[in-house]
Structure 1
Amino acid sequence: MRVLLKITDIIDVEVLQKIQDSFSDATGLAAVTVDYKGNPITKYSNFSEFCNCVRKDSDNRDCCYHSDAHGGIESARSGKPSIYLCHGGLVDVAVPIMVKGNYLGAIMAGQVKIDEEEMKRLPLGTGHELTDFSEHPEITELYERALTTTLTQVKSAADLLYTIANYLVEKQMIHIIQEELHNKNIELMEEVKLRSEVEASLKEADLKALQAQINPHFLFNVLNTIGRLALLEGAEKTQDMIYAFSDMMRYTLKKEKNNVVSLKEEIEHAQNYLSIQKMRLGNRLNYSVQIDEMTEDILCPFMTIQPFVENAIIHAIEPNAKGGSVKITAEIQKEGAILKVVDDGKGIPKDRIQKILDGTYEADGREKNTGIGINNANKRLMYYYGVDYGVEIKSELEKGTEITIKIPRKSLVGRGL
């Protein structure tokens, strides 16, 4: 939501007060600056004795306020200084302070007399007749002593205030725009840096995959041969483990030139990993996978889920003599899918979670570290979907950890798909 500017956001009040005082001293005109509601934001400069006396009466004071408000409205409508008669019969000026057509306030000046014929041609600020002070000789005497000048001088003073006000506004608006551009440039540089880091990580991963791919067909032929031997020898678990491993390797090598997969493919890869770990850990590992079929065709970055599943096995299941459980879920939402990887392990200290996501956490010699894989997955999610997306980690010590990944249906911006 756009925040409305106030006059104090645009003009330095101390600077404005000095300009206003100097203007009054030079011209003899009274002056004050008000916001768009008519509330003064500066002190009165050179206020006339006539006006001070008139405003002692509450009814007359209300007429003064109404007259100033009317003048301010007229200047806001035209976008130019408005010259008018106040209800007491003195000439006043309202100089609007505008930003992109929006009225922020005005500089009110005047409290002077000019030629009577010219005064008769000026509009009344109240829209009504002048107030009769004939029964108040002290007020009439103060009126006669009010400063007399010419309409030309009043117009020149109004133009001077208008020029000064606009200069101050334009100068500050340029500063505000430059500051906004600076902040946007910083955000853009951070996003460019993030994308560069992710692209470097992807290139490094591609190189490592290429180095590992000596001869994939030979590897799969060997694995299939071992699987058939296991079947002939009645070793069904060995056969299942080999085929699960083959599927994992095939998935990894097949995707080295395509970093985008369907959610169904990614979850099947994680299931193969879990089935192998189940054969290794036996009853110490329980896992479940609950996937909404409507999520299966949603695209996601390659290797989005497996690093979090591996992290759960290493840090939640293996250290516990009794083992534990891992649960993977995928639910459809209007804008996409919500993935969760939940374990019931010992949890992660709060001060470590952000370091894991940032890639700054370093494991000591007693524990394995999969923080790099989680950090890369988090960066790739932000790279593909934008900085508003990524990984959320909730964890409670001795109760477990919940990883949440939001996958939108929109195009993957990092690859322009």
Structure 2
Amino acid sequence: MSEIKKISDMIDMNLLQSIQDNCSKAMGIGAVTVDYKGNPITRYSGFTEHCMKVREVQGFSELCAQCDAHGGLHSAITGQPYIYRCHANLVDFAVPLIINGTYMGAVLGGQVKVCEEEAEQLEYILPQQSNWRKHEQISRLYDKMDTVSYEKVEAAVHILRDIIVTMTENETGKKMLATLEEKDKQLSEERAARSELELVLREQENDAMGRSAELRYFFYVMNIITRLAYEEKAERTEQVAYDFADVTRYTLGTTKKISTLGEELNYIESLLRIQKVWVGDKLDFHISVPTGYMTIPCPFMLMQPIAETVLDGFGEKSDASFHLEIYGEEEGDYFLLQICCSGGIKSLDEWVHMLSTPKDGSKSLYAINNSLQHVFGTEYGVSVGSRDDRQRGIVIRIRLPLEKRGLF
């Protein structure tokens, strides 16, 4: 019990049980978490009828416990997941639970039949036993089990490993953060005269640590989605998951105020790809800015209010088609980025009004234009006008400081 308490001190056991249950359902495997002695510390998840019955029969249940213990021990020694065959010729695996460099236990899973040709590459964790075949009910339940591919077992192991690593790092970070916050509170009481600047810096530091912990949860869930989409050959879902993760990583994973043109274009391209999956051929876009201009500096999230305004109201229920072309060129001592829209929802007058009218928030068109001029000078900024070819639509022009590096 003391060891279980140590594990629960480091991670949320309810969260561990929930993750174990959900992974078992999603992957079609049995699973249980054990401590370093091999004792279960969670409830069984998705155990097969065959394995539940085997563990009820004296003589066989002891062999199951030995397989669990040996599998966990092997993963502890190597520090890596271990896939093996149990005494009853099923494929199992052990994923080590390592916290702060210490082996605390393992997540054991599997209980699946793999075709003999694929299973031959795996070693038996204990000498193979066939006595269970003489037990009529156990033998019948074994024969009822479906056969799965070894590739599916490997995929399940990889997903569980990534989840466990992320969860332990995140939970440990939360515990450490709580300890730091408690000590910081005591220090604050002792040093009431601390300067306002020090307070601001500490709040920013704590906020960044908290945001990092939350993002880890987000990305491990996105990792599961992309892996499952890959296995199920859902290519569009897989691409949307990757694009959404990139957008989130860029918008929430940084505190910088100055970005680059390349990063901003990658951001808007991901947004447009997600929108195109949703509306299909009604949206067409093309980005053609030479590589040599990608290091040009620009305010962080410069493209966000522009993208929101461009796509506002353009969804699956809209019958209109929409074409967007983004290109850039040198103009004297400046770089001119142009976003040419046809079939847009907003009129030119509406764009001009939004660009010239103050609005609450730092992400309005007015605010982002002021920010660009404040950082680089009044000769830079955002303007909106009619298309040069007199076609329906507008052109958004963004003037940036010219800074080229590398080849075109």
Range into which the TM-score falls when normalised by the shorter chain:
0.3 to 0.5
TM-score w.r.t. the length of structure 1 is: 0.43
In our comparison, the structure showing a higher alpha carbon Rg is: 1
> What TM-score comes out, normalization by structure 2 length?
0.44
